[in-house]
Amino acid sequence: MIRRDARAFWLFVGPFLLGLAVFAYLPIGWSAYLSFFDARNTVTPTEFVGLDNYGHMLTDGPFLASLGTFSVFAAFIVPLTFVLSLALALAVNQLRFARAFFRSVFFLPFACSYVVASLIWKTSLFSGVRYGLANTVLGFFGADPVAWTGTVDPPLYWIVLVTARLWLQLGFYMILFIAALQRIPEQLYEAAWLDGAKPGWQVFRHITLPQLRATAVAVLLLNLINAYQAFDEFYNIMGDARGYPPFARPPLVYLYYTSLGSGGQDLGRGSAGAVILALIIALVTLLQGRVLRFGRPA
Amino acid sequence: MQWNRRSFLTLTGLGAVGVAAGACGSNTGREGGTSLAQWYHAYGEDGVQEAVRRYAAEYPGGAEVEVSWNPGDYDSKIVTALQNSAVPDVFEAQVKIDWVRRNQVVPLDDLIDGVRDDFSPAVLAAQTVEGKVYGIPQATDTQVLFYRSSLLQAAGVQPPQTVDELVDAAAKLTRDGVKGLFAGNDGGVGVLTGPLLWSAGLDYLKDNREVGFDDPRAATALGKLRTLNANGSLLIGAPADWSDPGALIDGLAAMQWTGLWNVPKIQAALGDDFGILPFPGLDAGGAPSVPVGAYGAMVNAKSAHVEEAKAFVKWLWLDQVDRQLEFATGFGFHLPSRQSLVARATGLAAGPAAEAADYVRDHGHLVGGPVWTQQSNTALSDAVARIAKEGADPVAQTRTAVEVAKAELKRLFG
């Protein structure tokens, strides 16, 4: 019986583990190895350079600037996603009719490809010509067309980048919050009403929000990690065949151009940057988890 | 047949084995013969793919040539493939010095020696590293300034002959919902950096050993892009980028910097209502210019069939002049890379294409070149973007790019 169970276990889990080892752990390990070598245009380098690549990346202006870009993006996207997905969850959860319909409507964008959404945002909604949707609306008020992705002062491109990601991910976090809302015992609300709590903000502040703490912390952690990993919408909205502007260049886009850029590939420095970024994400996640008391009872 | 878990697993297992076996056997070519994999990027013109597949099928040299058409980021794909893969055997690209240093491509001097002088020097320079040729140029592309003649007349603007006149013309042509100039959605950073340096008599590199823009005039020239971006005369955020003629054809901009390959589409849409110019000189001390770009047919050093691949490259890109002429001029406007073929191309005998051929001959410049590395390019591109978009100090930004380019030259040549 045990042997049969073990066989079934390996039959179903084995391919997944194999895929994980080949496509995740091996590249991560190889990348860490490359980071200690001069690995220009090769994945089998021979020239050991120690920590030189790390030293370069930690003093490299564009890489450090890309971390600054990420910080701006995270400052926008994390709180906005948190507040709006929670608001959506509360609104949809209170619906008496068509709740499943609205849940699906808000969740559906999550199934959309980031690339497709980025191209729609770039070429239809926020194109700089007079017939782009945003410019058409502005035109009703007599305003001139705005170059949304090319205007740096003020940095209007953030509107394009942030709204694209909000549209894509709000539904996912809304579902997490709805699941958490539905797990709050009804008796808590009844007890609060009996104790005289006013429906609305008071109940939300003292009953709902504390009960959502575990989910809220998870949403914040996932959001921040996702912000660090921003690539698709940035690359497809801001980049073109000739390159990528230095403003709004997040870490992964910079590392992509360093490691896999056309013409020359510096896999040593790119890998060092990837290791640094992974360590930063791990550190920030651990700190955030500790500060927000992730995984501990309320 | 009754379906149960066992029969399902058996069938899917057999299916997987079959697919794997099929995949293993799908790329062996003719039995006993040699199979060569040839990669192209995805050309935009109709008919090119069919033509190159036909050339491959007609190769009489004994090897079967399988053509792969690669949409998307082809240049990155090639660089990745070259690292440790024997595939492709033959591919189109512009050589980079790091590829030569890593022994990723083979020199082709023995193929080209008899006809070397027939290639335009700038076109051959794109494929040459330290005196050796690594790619046989297939066709030459260039970019020029297209303008709508009627819009210039209506605004009382003459075709610009200097950079200041271009800036002035773009401003005057910006009216009635039409922008003066479109040079890419990045505000010209990608495509005008080279022309601006050349306009001042400078270049990316000098003799491939010195930085070519370590000069105060570089900051002056690059600063003109800031004026264009700041005065609202550039079209930014067009649905299609600079390489597509949509902005000019759709009346979004009165002038557009784009490729010669768009002449047929522009002619079809505008008739004779357009003209072309090279990028103007900065001033009396500068010069007009057009960029020259040419993919060359190259051979992967890790190929198991280097000699067969070289034989195919020689057959197609050196011996088959009629096919080369068709490849360059049969599907869009490109210039044959061999000067003797330019004279034979009837489509290039008059009109804008003939003018462009003259521009390439008289004012053609290589964009970057084999020694211009990714690191140098990113540094210069970042500097120009900051100057143009953020109004950063051109002198300080240019100095930063110069230092990075110097460091790269030091890495390469000590």
How confident is the model over B32-81, as pLDDT tens digits?
A: 578 999 999 998 888 999 999 999 999 998 899 999 999 988 988 898 89
Partners of A152 on chain B (C-beta within 8 Å) are: 389-390
CATH number at residue B108: 3.40.190.10
- Are A265 and B390 a contacting pair at CB < 8 A? no
Same domain, B134 and B147: no
Same domain, B157 and B255: yes
Q: From the candidates B375, B376, B386, B409, which should be mutated to test the interface with A, based on the most A CB atoms within 10 A?
A: B375
Please name the residue of chain B whose CA is at the shortest distance from the CA of residue A129: B238
Question: What pLDDT, on a 0 to 100 scale, did the predictor assign at position A235?
Answer: 93
Please name the residue of chain A whose CA is at the shortest distance from the CA of residue B193: A242
Partners of A129 on chain B (C-beta within 8 Å) are: 235, 237-239, 252
Does some domain include residue B12?
no
Does some domain include residue B10?
no
Of A145, A240, A263, the CB nearest to B186: A240
Q: How many CB atoms lie within 10 A of CB B254?
A: 30
To the nearest whole Å, the CA of A262 is away from the closest chain B CA by 4
Does some domain include residue B6?
no
Q: In A, residues 158-187, which contact B (CB 8 Å cutoff)? A: none
Question: What pLDDT, on a 0 to 100 scale, did the predictor assign at position A242?
Answer: 73
Q: In A, residues 257-296, which contact B (CB 8 Å cutoff)? A: 257, 260-266
- Are A264 and B102 a contacting pair at CB < 8 A? no
Q: From the candidates A242, A253, A266, which should be mutated to test the interface with B, based on the most B CB atoms within 10 A?
A: A242
Report whether A48 contacts A29 (CB < 8 A). no
The Cα B261–Cα B294 span in angstroms is: 13
What are B230-261's pLDDT values in tens digits?
999 999 989 889 999 999 999 999 999 999 98
Residue B123 backbone dihedrals phi, psi, to 5 degrees: -70, -40
Q: B31 pLDDT exceeds 80?
A: no
Domain holding B168, by residue range, is 142-291+373-413
Same domain, B329 and B388: no
Decide: residue B28, CB within 10 A, 0-12 exposed, 13-18 middle, 19+ buried.
exposed
Report whether A70 contacts A228 (CB < 8 A). yes
Question: What pLDDT, on a 0 to 100 scale, did the predictor assign at position B161?
Answer: 95
What are B295-315's pLDDT values in tens digits?
999 999 999 999 999 999 999
Partners of A269 on chain B (C-beta within 8 Å) are: none
Same domain, B224 and B205: yes
Same domain, B115 and B35: yes
Q: B208 pLDDT exceeds 70?
A: yes
Which residues, 6+ apart, have CB-to-CB distance to A142 below 8 Å?
Answer: none
Strands B132-133 and B128-129, how do they pair? antiparallel
Same domain, B39 and B126: yes
Question: What pLDDT, on a 0 to 100 scale, did the predictor assign at position B162?
Answer: 96
Task: Count chain A–chain B contacts defined by CB atoms under 8 A.
Answer: 117
Strands B90-93 and B34-41, how do they pair? parallel
Partners of B187 on chain A (C-beta within 8 Å) are: 150
Of B102, B238, B378, the CB nearest to A257: B378
Domain count within chain B = 2
- Are B76 and A261 a contacting pair at CB < 8 A? yes
User: Higher pLDDT residue, B23 or A62?
Assistant: A62
Same domain, B188 and B158: yes
The Cα A278–Cα B406 span in angstroms is: 31
Does some domain include residue B158?
yes
B378-400: b (≥16 Cβ within 10 Å) or e? bbbbbbbbbbbbbebebeebbeb
Torsion over CA of B203, B242, B142 and B328, rounded to 10 degrees? 150
- Are B236 and A150 a contacting pair at CB < 8 A? yes
Q: From the candidates B91, B98, B103, which should be mutated to test the interface with A, based on the most A CB atoms within 10 A?
A: B98
**Does residue B3 sit in helix, strand or coil?**
coil
Does some domain include residue B11?
no
For residue B188, give the nearest of A133, A265, A147 by alpha carbon.
A147
Share of chain B above pLDDT 90, in %: 69
Same domain, B77 and B133: yes
Q: pLDDT confidence of B229, banded at 50, 70, 90?
A: very high
Of B187, B382, B391, the CB nearest to A62: B382
Task: State the pTM of this model.
Answer: 0.85
Could you give the ipTM of this predicted complex? 0.83
What are B93-148's pLDDT values in tens digits?
999 998 998 899 999 999 999 899 999 888 898 999 999 999 999 999 999 999 99
Does some domain include residue B7?
no
Flag residues of chain A having pLDDT under 50. none
Q: pLDDT confidence of B9, banded at 50, 70, 90?
A: very low
Partners of A145 on chain B (C-beta within 8 Å) are: 177
Report whether A63 contacts A273 (CB < 8 A). yes
Same domain, B170 and B315: no
What are B262-294's pLDDT values in tens digits?
988 999 999 999 999 999 999 988 899 999 988
Residue B273 backbone dihedrals phi, psi, to 5 degrees: -80, 50
Structure tokens given for B118: 């027939």
Q: B10 pLDDT exceeds 50?
A: no
Q: From the candidates A7, A149, A235, A265, which should be mutated to test the interface with B, based on the most B CB atoms within 10 A?
A: A265
Same domain, B44 and B59: yes
Of A41, A153, A261, the CB nearest to B390: A153
- Are B381 and A243 a contacting pair at CB < 8 A? yes
Report whether B102 contacts B96 (CB < 8 A). no
Same domain, B125 and B256: no
- Are A42 and B241 a contacting pair at CB < 8 A? no
Question: What pLDDT, on a 0 to 100 scale, did the predictor assign at position B379?
Answer: 93
Structure tokens given for A282: 């791990």
Question: What pLDDT, on a 0 to 100 scale, did the predictor assign at position B391?
Answer: 94
Question: What pLDDT, on a 0 to 100 scale, did the predictor assign at position B51?
Answer: 96
Q: CA of B93: how far to CAs of A93, B101, B192, B194, B323, in Å? A: 57, 16, 22, 20, 19
Average pLDDT, chain B: 89
Does some domain include residue B212?
yes
- Are B98 and A257 a contacting pair at CB < 8 A? no
Report whether B206 contacts B371 (CB < 8 A). no
Does some domain include residue B59?
yes
Q: From the candidates A7, A41, A122, which should be mutated to test the interface with B, based on the most B CB atoms within 10 A?
A: A41
**One-letter amino acid for residue A159 of the chain:** I
To the nearest whole Å, the CA of B347 is away from the closest chain A CA by 29
Q: B14 pLDDT exceeds 60?
A: no
Same domain, B73 and B192: no
Interface check for A247 against chain B (CB to CB < 8 A): the answer is yes
- Are B377 and A263 a contacting pair at CB < 8 A? yes
Partners of A60 on chain B (C-beta within 8 Å) are: none
Report whether A217 contacts A294 (CB < 8 A). yes
Of B237, B382, B390, the CB nearest to A149: B237
Question: What pLDDT, on a 0 to 100 scale, did the predictor assign at position B16?
Answer: 42
**Taking the CA of residue B109 as centre, how many other CA atoms within 13 Å lie in the half-sphere pointing to its CB?**
8
Partners of B386 on chain A (C-beta within 8 Å) are: 246
Secondary structure, 3-state, A204-261: HHHHHHHHCHHHHHHHHHHHHHHHHCCCHHHHHHHCECCECCCCCCCHHHHHHHHHHC
Q: pLDDT confidence of B352, banded at 50, 70, 90?
A: confident
Share of chain B above pLDDT 70, in %: 92
